[in-house]
């Protein structure tokens, strides 16, 4: 496997909201990688021949109305996209890679499993994972069903939750959610997961407003609790620009409006948000 090209699939917004994230992610992968890398940006498309095709008005293609992001359900299509052959890495766009991706690409997988991912007591995190595409065929819905069933994404999440034998756990720091309690030197892949505290907002939000459209995240924006991680993103952002990367490298014709969940009541995660006890009023009204 040492001569392989690492196949990375990244879920991202189709209206150019995630350009900063995309640039930093690609730069960070290639900065550290000892193997060649091929990145597929998974974005909703108006092209009827695209795997990511959607036409919400005509109710064709991907149905995103129950997704929290513009790409939540795409990860399940990757093994079929790869003709159920070889391996494939999936990542959300809000990731900075701080180590050689070769180690994740070649991570051992237990017999009978279909994906290597981060696990804990109550969930498996598939926001950075490695698919065994051939093994996954038996368990994943076909793209024809993934695209049309609005409940398909949740159905697949339930399949993974109810069948833990399908998961090979990997080292937690390959999907370090908002830094957790680790120093930067111990983080292999940083996932700045809380959509309200994402480092890219300081660049993306004013840019998209200037360009005359709205960002897909419509919840409350707040500072990240770890400023040194914020500074890390800024350093990689500036390094990418100095290395010749530009935001326009990732710009596409905007897809336009698509249905999705609102983030008005988005709560982030326990790593970035206070765990202070809620008032009775807040508990009653889920706020």
Which residues fall within 8 angstroms of residue 28, CB to CB, at 6 or more apart? 95, 96, 97, 98, 236
Per-residue DSSP letter, 53: B
Domain boundary assignment for the chain:
6-284
Question: pTM score > 0.85 for this model?
Answer: yes
Return the ∠ at Cα 90 (arms to 84 and 94), rounded to 5°.
165
Residues of the chain with pLDDT under 50: 1-2, 276-287
Rounded to an integer, what distance in angstroms lies between the CA atom of residue 168 and that of residue 133?
Answer: 14
- Minimal CA–CA distance to 126: which of 76, 165, 81? 76
CA distance 213 to 270: 31
Rounded distance between C-alpha atoms, residue 194 and residue 269, angstroms: 6
Q: What pLDDT score does 182 carry?
A: 94
pLDDT score at 181: 87
- Write down how long the chain is: 287
Q: Using CA atoms, how far apart are residues 224 and 211, in angstroms rounded to an integer? A: 25
pLDDT for 275? 59
Under 8 Å between Cβ of 9 and 101: no
Question: Residue 3: what pLDDT?
Answer: 58
CATH 1.10.10 fits 6-284, yes or no: no
Structure confidence at residue 211 (pLDDT)? 94
């Amino acid at each position: 496997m040492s001569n392989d090209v690492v196949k990375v699939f990244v879920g991202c917004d189709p209206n150019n909201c995630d350009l900063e994230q995309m640039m930093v992610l690609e730069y960070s992968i290639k900065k550290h990688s000892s193997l060649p890398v091929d990145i597929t940006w998974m974005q909703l498309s108006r092209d009827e021949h695209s795997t990511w095709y959607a036409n919400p008005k005509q109710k064709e293609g991907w149905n995103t109305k129950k997704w929290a992001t513009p790409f939540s359900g795409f990860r399940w299509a990757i093994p079929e996209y790869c003709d159920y052959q070889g391996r494939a890495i999936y990542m959300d766009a809000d990731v900075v890679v701080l180590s050689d991706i070769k180690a994740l690409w070649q991570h051992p997988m237990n017999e009978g499993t279909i994906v290597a991912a981060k696990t804990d007591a109550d969930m498996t995190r598939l926001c950075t994972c490695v698919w065994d595409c051939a093994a996954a065929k038996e368990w994943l819905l076909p793209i024809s069903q993934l695209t049309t069933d609005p409940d398909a994404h949740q159905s697949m999440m339930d399949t993974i939750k109810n069948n833990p034998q399908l998961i090979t756990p990997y080292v937690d720091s390959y999907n370090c959610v908002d830094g957790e309690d680790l120093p930067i030197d111990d983080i292999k892949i940083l996932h700045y997961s809380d959509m309200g505290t994402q480092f890219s907002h300081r660049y993306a939000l004013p840019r998209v407003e200037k360009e005359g459209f709205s960002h897909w995240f419509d919840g409350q924006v707040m500072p990240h609790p770890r400023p040194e991680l914020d500074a890390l993103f800024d350093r990689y952002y500036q390094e990418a620009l100095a290395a010749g990367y530009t935001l326009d490298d990732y710009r596409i014709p905007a897809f336009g409006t698509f249905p999705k969940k609102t983030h008005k009541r988005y709560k982030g995660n326990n790593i970035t948000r206070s765990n202070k006890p809620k008032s009775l009023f807040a508990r009653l009204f889920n706020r």
